[in-house]
Structure 1
């Protein structure tokens, strides 16, 4: 009982206690068309954003197994979002954090990471076959030979990344009850796989919809330079669970920007590239299913994107002024399809198209 009778937020001893339990918001904004409304899980409202869940799970798991020594150094490759999460969790657990990023990391995140005590290592040139991600991973391997008591979470292939999102899956079910579909962006594959494991147990008929970037190799597109950061990949993450997806959508940069800015103007909630792409696909799923029980995971807020998505000059320079009213249906093997919004109901691991599985056909990444 409080003096005023008003709800009181909990008092917390650590930033780790603030991770999770994020709110859901009903979104009725017509992104490109009318729809019954969907529910946005606002992960950007928590310190460290959505990736703090993965950071907490991976570091706790490593400590419990003795892989991360007390005071040991955590080193990881990221385009930015996981770096903030690792800074949050690492500082609370007493671990120095080294983040390997690249020249395309935005100025705000660079400054914020350094302010949080992170040592920032920037690679200057993309790998000729594996792009920025391969170049960053090569630098991580170099640092592992020189840092004191180093631990590399390896977010792309670490099962603890997936486990860290079980709680998110349970929150969706508790907050929404009956769920007809969950829409997730796919990068490392962690949160889509973690949510799906919970969903398949409690709501096996609910659809799991993946959202990728055009030009990402995760679902079989040929590798291409991508303007969008934070979703998609130019390598092959083991954490992507292809069997759980009922369909996948590829979204272009223009459609994602349209989604972000439409949300900002109408719903007073928005985020980065992943948020715009997921909002577009979630609104489509809500319309197609004629259901208001569609959940969309918004990984972060808009703050890192002021000089890209929300900059009118950037938008004009890159031709990001279009929108889309429907995806083009393609077969998952149609990797030479249009650049913009596509979807497929046949989701295939692109590795299965290759007889010799020792090396990724697009980036040369060795597969164990």
Structure 2
């Protein structure tokens, strides 16, 4: 005979909400306090794994944090006037964050992007009231990023009261991620290794700088894409979006990194798809690249090392790319099982890398040769 178990309810109805998020009066209140998830077998080796910070649980992704912070700070300083237009270059995720900030603070938003932006993202930005301005020709040396930035300059000249956050060089982009670091400390207590993708440099610098204040021996591992110039490789056409750059953002804190890994698009696709199949939590290019590196670190570092990987967004925008078989076949992204270990180079300029490669010597490509600052950057990883 089956017996039904009678549920036990708290004596006070208010206690039902003890573990729930509080009601919010503005969509800005939906940003932050994202969950942390353990990733282990079968993605990792038996008995090994790493923690992931799931920033895809923000309304638009990790850059909701910086969009809100940059807009709020600019308004407080009087740089962004009430009702003035916000104009910025983005490959997608920051655009969603700025659309959110525009709705919260009452600003029209123009997003400058290129043909690589997914139709889903274009549709969402339009639904949220943003104007999407498309550039059609890449800059001969700076690629799509530089072409987008030139278009931003043209739009700012047409709208004298408009404001551009300049996510690549704005220190508020970095400061915005202190709450993310504080959340990680509260959630995990101790962190030994942080694995972060690098694009504008905002979330890597903002998160790592705060965490190192708590954990001075923290290892910081940057993840870039092949074809990106951030860590000294020559620019090349890049399929992956959301990490990497064809310019040199000044928000990249080179002195914070102990090592950098470059990951190729097929390797990121393999990792993102494997995560989706076995762990449900996944994302696109950045998530796949970061997960591949964190997986290797989980196998090669001591078992007691607590590794945290930041997943900047979820899988939704990549349904037509990373998770689309025809797209992946067209770009020859399928059937490439990553190697067990990365290639190694001793200096970022040793050779052009085309597959997963690791380097423990970090240099600022714009630092003048022979300057003390350049030597400090180069030795930062070896000193820790």
TM-score, normalised relative to structure 2: 0.89
* Pick aligned residue for 1:5 from 12, 16, 29: 16
Counterpart in the other structure of 1:359: none
- 1:295 Cα deviation from its structure 2 partner: 0.5
Whether the 8 Å contact between 1:36 and 1:291 is mirrored in structure 2 is: no
**RMSD over aligned Cα atoms:** 1.6
2:362 is aligned to 347
Q: Distance in 2 between matches of 1:29 and 1:334?
A: 36
8 Å CA contact retained: 1:37, 1:292? no
**Map 1:292-311 → 2, pairs under 5 A:** 293-311=306-324
Match of 2:110 among 90, 98, 106: 98
Residue in structure 2 matched with residue 160 of structure 1 by the alignment: 172
Alignment match, 1:360: none
Mark the CA change 1:118 to 1:179 in structure 2 (over 3 Å): closer, same or farther: same
Distance 1:246 1:117 in 2: 41
Superposed, 1:164-183 pairs within 5 Å as: 164-183=176-195
Gaps of 5+ in 2: 1-11, 372-384
Higher relative contact order (CA 8 A, sep 6+): 1
Note if 1:246 corresponds to 2:261: no
Secondary structure of residue in 2 paired with 1:13:
coil
Correspondence for 1:282 among 294, 301, 307? 294
Asked if the contact 2:89–2:113 (Cα under 8 Å) also holds between the matched residues in 1, the reply is: yes
2:68 corresponds to:
56
Instruction: State the shift of 1:173 in Å.
Output: 1.1
1:131 paired residue among 136, 143, 148: 143
Separation in structure 2 between the aligned mates of residue 292 and residue 36 of structure 1, nearest angstrom: 10
3-state DSSP class of the match of 1:151?
A: coil
Which residue number in structure 1 is paired with residue 351 of structure 2? 336
Runs of 4+ in 1 over 6 A off after TM superposition: none
Give the number of the structure whose alpha-carbon radius of gyration is greater: 2
Matched ranges for 1:352-363 at <5 A = 352=367
Alignment partners' CA distance in 2, 1:8 and 1:219? 42
| TM-fit CA distance, 1:29 | 3.9
Are residue 38 (structure 1) and residue 50 (structure 2) matched?
yes
Bigger CA drift: 334-343 or 195-204?
A: 334-343
Q: 2:44·2:299 contact (CA, 8 Å) conserved in 1?
A: no
The alignment partner of 1:270 has SS state of coil
Structure 1 residues 161 and 311, CA, compared in 2 at 3 Å: closer, same or farther? same
Contact 2:348 2:362 in 1 (8 A): no
Q: Deviations over 1:242-294 (max 9, x none)?
A: 00001110000011001100000000111010000001111111222124511
User: Are the counterparts in 2 of residues 217 and 235 from structure 1 also a CA contact under 8 Å?
Assistant: yes
Equivalent residue number for residue 3 of structure 2: none
SS state at 2:276 partner? helix
Question: What does residue 365 of structure 1 align with?
Answer: none
Q: Does 1:141 align with 2:156?
A: no
The 2-side partners of 1:277 and 1:208 are apart by 15
Q: Alignment partner of 1:263: what SS?
A: helix
Structure 1 segment 197-212 matched on structure 2, within 5 A: 197-212=209-224
Task: Decide whether the 8 Å contact of 1:53 with 1:164 is kept in 2.
Answer: yes
